[in-house]
Copies of this chain bind each other. A is one copy, B any other.
């Protein structure tokens, strides 16, 4: 096992009818800004529950944060918050809203050009406004971690930052708020969670037995609950299990003490930036490709994954690995997320553009062994035409 530091101060308030806890958790004197996305919280009752819980608070609103939250949009919120003296943010929505609020929390008090937050990967953050989340779309894990991904469409860039200063103070996770999600968003959340876990699991063995068992336990739960949620979108326990999987899939726990990959994510980000694919769609395409072209380095963990997650125990090493890759992409397809570029109308022609972006962003040595060059990324993409 590798040395690690694990410190996650976010308080999780999980379950039915918990939004009313907001008034217990947020100081009465806070000057609050409620941040949300396209307005689904107004349809599903979450907005009303929040307004009711926060009656009597000084509260302004900033809506319209888009999926893959955009720097320019968020900076409008930052300006508004500065002008109004906002000192506490509340994100209501999915990972995009949470990620956006993390950026805003750091940008509001930032001295200098807030773009530095992104170009320094978060290292330039010296302080942040406190914030909390009401999660309505599980998947990214942003509700219990200190990472964020911000797009800047004007530069065709998708940039990652993290800082211990942007852990949410608390997050409220009420599975009922996810009942009304469109199937596509639900599926994206399952795939996103699945791939987060794989990025921390499918590397090389360091005898991190607990981390492996936890990762496998989350994957097994996704396999059980994923198909169920499409058939029974209002099954509370299924929604609860998926929501808790998503949080635990990326809150630092299963990645502590083991190597991490993230090449699938980094190449996927470029597909989103260039062609507007949903984040999870890019992962569904790239993960099977990465598994295939990196099967040699990942052999031991692939065999463990095949056996413990899929119960594959017969056949040669290569056959078991191929079967596990096949089952992985079949699971994504079962979740109604296509796993090939052509499934999104993309052809071979998109590949050079992705590689160029990787070069432009200096992402030329990705993965747990830093051996995912643009050339290897090309092979992974070609395997998914």
Contacts and interface: CB of A to CB of B under 8 A. Distances in A.
A53 to B, nearest CB: 16
Contact of A237 (B3, B8, B207, B256): B207
Number of chain copies forming the complex: 2
Interface string A242-259: 001100100001001100
A310 to B, nearest CB: 15
Residue among A1, A14, A220 with the most chain B CB within 10 A? A1
A207 B236 CA distance: 10
Interface string A1-28: 1111111111111111010000000000
A15 B256 CA distance: 11
Contacts of A2: 15
B210 A244 contact: yes
Interface stretch (A98-106, A147-155, A211-219, A327-335): A211-219
Nearest to A238: B207
A278 B19 CA distance: 45
A1 B240 contact: yes
A208 B175 CA distance: 13
Nearest to A170: B7
Contacts of A225: 209
B8 A14 contact: no
Contact of A1 (B13, B241, B257): B241
A245 B214 CA distance: 11
A125 to B, nearest CB: 19
A118 B18 CA distance: 31
A238 B142 CA distance: 32
Interface string A281-298: 000000000000000000
A11 B7 contact: yes
B209 A213 contact: no
Residue among A8, A213, A216, A224 with the most chain B CB within 10 A? A213
Contacts of A257: 14-15, 240, 244
Nearest to A220: B213
Contacts of A8: 8
A257 B243 CA distance: 13
A210 B241 contact: yes
Contacts of A7: 9-12, 170
A221 interface: yes
B210 A1 contact: no
Contacts of A241: 1, 207-210
A256 B243 CA distance: 14
A244 B3 CA distance: 12
B210 A245 contact: yes
A210 B238 CA distance: 11
B256 A14 contact: yes
A244 B214 contact: no
A88 to B, nearest CB: 18
A97 to B, nearest CB: 22
8 contacts: A1-B14, A1-B244, A2-B15, A3-B16, A207-B241, A210-B245, A214-B214, A214-B217
Nearest first, the 7 A-B pairs at minimum CB distance are A3-B15, A213-B217, A7-B11, A207-B237, A1-B240, A6-B12, A209-B221
Given A207-B240, A216-B217, 20 more contacts: A1-B14, A3-B14, A3-B16, A4-B12, A5-B11, A5-B12, A5-B14, A6-B11, A7-B9, A7-B170, A8-B8, A14-B256, A14-B257, A208-B241, A209-B221, A210-B241, A210-B244, A213-B216, A213-B218, A217-B217
